[in-house]
Amino acid sequence: MFATVPTPIPARMKGLNRAEICDVNFQEFVRGWDGRADAAPADDEAILDGSALDARSFRELFESQLISRHLDLMARVLRVQNKVFYTIGSSGHEGNAMVARLTRHTDPAFLHYRSGGFMAERFRKLPGMDPVMDSALSFAASKDDPASGGRHKVWGSKPLWVLPQTSTIASHLPKAFGTAVAIEQARRSGHALPVPGDSIVVCSFGDASSNHATAQTAFNAAAWTAYQKLPAPVLFVCEDNGIGISVRTPDGWVARNFRHRPDLDYFYADGLDLASGYGDVQRAVEHCRRTRRPTFLHLRTTRIMGHAGTDFEIEWRSIEELCAVEAGDPLLRSAAIALESGAMSKEEILALYEATRAKCFAAAEDADRRPRLSSLEEVMAPLAPYTPDTVAAEATRADYAQRRVDVFGGDARLPERAGPKHLAIQINAALHDLFAKYPEALLFGEDVAQKGGVYTVTKGLQKAFGPRRVFNTLLDETIILGLAQGYANMGFLPLPEIQYLAYFHNACDQIRGEAASLQFFSNGQYRNPMVMRIASLGYQRGFGGHFHNDNSITALRDIPGLVVGCPSRGDDAATMLRTLVALAKVDGRVCAFLEPIALYMAKDLHEPGDGGWLTTYPAPHEAMPLGEERVYHPEATDLVVFTFGNGVPMSLRAARAIEAAHGWKVRVVDLRWLAPLNEAAIALHAGECERILVVDEGRRSAGVGEGIITAIAEAGYRGRPFRRVVGADTFTPLAGAAFLVIPSDEQIVAAADALAEESQAR
């Protein structure tokens, strides 16, 4: 292990680790250089003949490279002392500083983890900012970390428009593309942007990540957009170091794969050589900004010092290969440029090198003395903000009366005057209402525009509000949710539609790993407000099978901070939607609105023609508080049934049969909100009733019912007689067989019969 103080490391210690060797290599290279130096160039002169890079820019880029390198070296030393908690470094990628210099600090940037050079250089864009201290605070997981508040080592900065993220492989590419599309849509629609209208979006990733399905879907969507002559100014920066942890990228693969892709404009630049690479990076950036086309910048890099501090490459790479890689260290080339051009002397380079080392270590020691997160409350504070009074005020705000009248075609045609209607019609009316209220609202997805959705729930929206606010996308759920994040980044209020719940699983990480995590990992500085509408759940007749009757709610409930609502009737759908949109607008929440397909057109409850499941439309000043349940027969205490979605009308029908069979008065509780579950309400109703029945149309394992039972048990009602009616742990088959695997009215009655037998046995 090399010294923990900023002093040169003796060459005799070379054998201890590769980080040390790279450190010593640089110093020995500079000391041993014996080439001829030109006369020092003026600040505005080219650093070398034929280079687009001037001397002043070179010196600053070189300094940014050194900051990045010494942050890496510092992390390797202090990690073993538990003063630093992250060692995935940027060594070999320092050339990405050129991308930062040639873009603006108002160009939104979505970066991968080898972006130390980029960040050090972008910090120059605003006065008074310190890339070393800010980075050290992040390495140390300090509460003072301005990027994440100590929650993770992330590259990020609110004033520099670098959105903090901890992406899984390539999962940030769809939202980068979405942000670029949002910038252009805002320009066309007159929406006020938080960045200049000619901004571009920077998105960096590695050569290995470029193969990932999530990356490919972003490249495809970008080309799909450009093919239609629609602008999408995203600069995809592929930093090609030839290896992904230990898996090699075939030589020439990235160029072969991307050089000739239609509608994805390819540029190559040498990121190992500032003098030769600068002009090529400049051409790529200028092309993207001028043409507004998706641009692929293939940036040559290398990876030295391993993937991370725990990656002992000597165990799986030959010493000859390691030495060859280290000989390609871009800092050696930068030092050579400085010396060849006469821009810096040996003494000046070494002095800057050691001064940078000292600054990085001093900042790290300072950061280590700062407080870290020390309570669960501190950790979770930015995850799920909720200001109930403000949300309620926003949800019930009804100061757009004339716009409503105009949208619905006159006062007499307002939906609250239309009489009782079924769920699909009431959701449609609520969407029209919300679009009148929020000019920044957008709705998009597959088939939602002219067709009005598979179930006509969005019928008429595009005609009423135009194709810039209601539009179809390509058939790709990952891109739909990437677009939603991009629009949210640019101040829109997106309502993306996922056509079926089963299709959400294709793109789950866009919510789990990206949208829902942004407030957490940015300490509340950034957010992705959205309401994701999903046609959901089972019991659909005549159009069945697993993909159209998905009951896997668990995949949503498991996402930290996500709000999940599921109405069973039209009036609840309208008031719930108002609250969900207010949660997104006020608190930046990511929300899922599950629409039970089988109840879209349901009119009757007990008998054909009784109209028992039709509801009147609630006036715009009415909204449903987050977590509030709906209780049927609140006076009943013999049996309480907890349910949601399709289970509500089923339980109400079963309640009649149970009362007839056993004389019990049955209370039915429609939970409506599935995440977070209202555990206090569950405990209250369980405590007031003698018996408990849970009706969960999801699967037996990991379903909503498990959460309900846990809430009851933790409230101290373990001894109450209870039963659970749930779906089976299986995929849903086609046709009538589907109804063998999900709960039925008869199963609910049978469970009550079992409770009655248990009571008699006691």
Nearest alpha carbon to residue 243 among 254, 256, 258? 254
For residue range 565-590, list pLDDT tens digits in order: 999 999 999 999 999 999 999 999 99
Tokens for 164, please give them. Answer: 């903090």
Cα dist from 244 to 240, 259, 305, 753, whole Å: 10, 21, 13, 60
Report which residue type is found at 91.
S
pTM value?
0.94
Tokens for 186, please give them. Answer: 């805002």
Beta carbons within 10 angstroms of residue 734's beta carbon: 12
Cα 431 from Cα 425, distance rounded (Å): 10
The pairing of strands 590-596 and 295-300 is unpaired
Map residue 641 onto helix, strand or coil.
strand
**Would you say residue 113 has pLDDT above 70?**
yes
**Would you say residue 546 has pLDDT above 80?**
no
Ramachandran region, residue 631 (left: φ > 0; alpha: ψ -120 to 50; beta: rest): beta
For residue range 377-433, list pLDDT tens digits in order: 999 999 999 999 999 999 999 999 999 999 999 999 999 999 999 999 999 999 999
> For 671-706, b where at least 16 C-beta lie within 10 A, e where not — what string?
bbbbbbbbbebbbbbbeebebbbbbbbbbeebbbbb
pLDDT given for residue 31 in this prediction? 95
pLDDT given for residue 309 in this prediction? 74
**Is residue 762 very low, low, confident or very high in pLDDT (cuts 50, 70, 90)?**
low
**Is residue 241 very low, low, confident or very high in pLDDT (cuts 50, 70, 90)?**
very high
**Would you say residue 181 has pLDDT above 90?**
yes
pLDDT given for residue 562 in this prediction? 97
CA angle 582–587–591, rounded 5-degree value: 65
Cα 132 from Cα 63, distance rounded (Å): 12
**Would you say residue 477 has pLDDT above 90?**
yes
Counting residues of the chain whose pLDDT is more than 70, the rounded percentage is 97
**Is residue 607 very low, low, confident or very high in pLDDT (cuts 50, 70, 90)?**
very high
Map residue 424 onto helix, strand or coil.
helix
- Number of residues that make up the chain: 762
> Which of the 8 DSSP states describes residue 512?
I
pLDDT given for residue 321 in this prediction? 87
Nearest alpha carbon to residue 591 among 494, 505, 658? 494
> For 147-175, b where at least 16 C-beta lie within 10 A, e where not — what string?
bbbbbbbbbbbeebbbbbbbbebbbbbbb
CA 661 to mean position of chain CA atoms: 51
Tokens for 337, please give them. Answer: 């440029």
pLDDT given for residue 544 in this prediction? 66
For residue range 1-31, list pLDDT tens digits in order: 333 333 443 443 344 588 899 999 999 999 9
pLDDT given for residue 261 in this prediction? 95
For all residues of the chain together, what is the average pLDDT? 93
Cα 123 from Cα 211, distance rounded (Å): 31
Cα 285 from Cα 199, distance rounded (Å): 11
Q: Which residue stretches of 328-422 are H helix?
A: 330-341, 346-369, 376-380, 388-395, 401-408
Counting residues of the chain whose pLDDT is more than 90, the rounded percentage is 84
**Is residue 730 very low, low, confident or very high in pLDDT (cuts 50, 70, 90)?**
confident
Which residue shows structure tokens 């995935």?
88
Report which residue type is found at 185.
Q
Please enumerate in sequence order all residues whose Cβ is within 8 A of that of 117, keeping only pairs 6 or more positions apart, or say none: 64, 65, 67, 68, 90, 93, 94, 95, 96, 97, 100
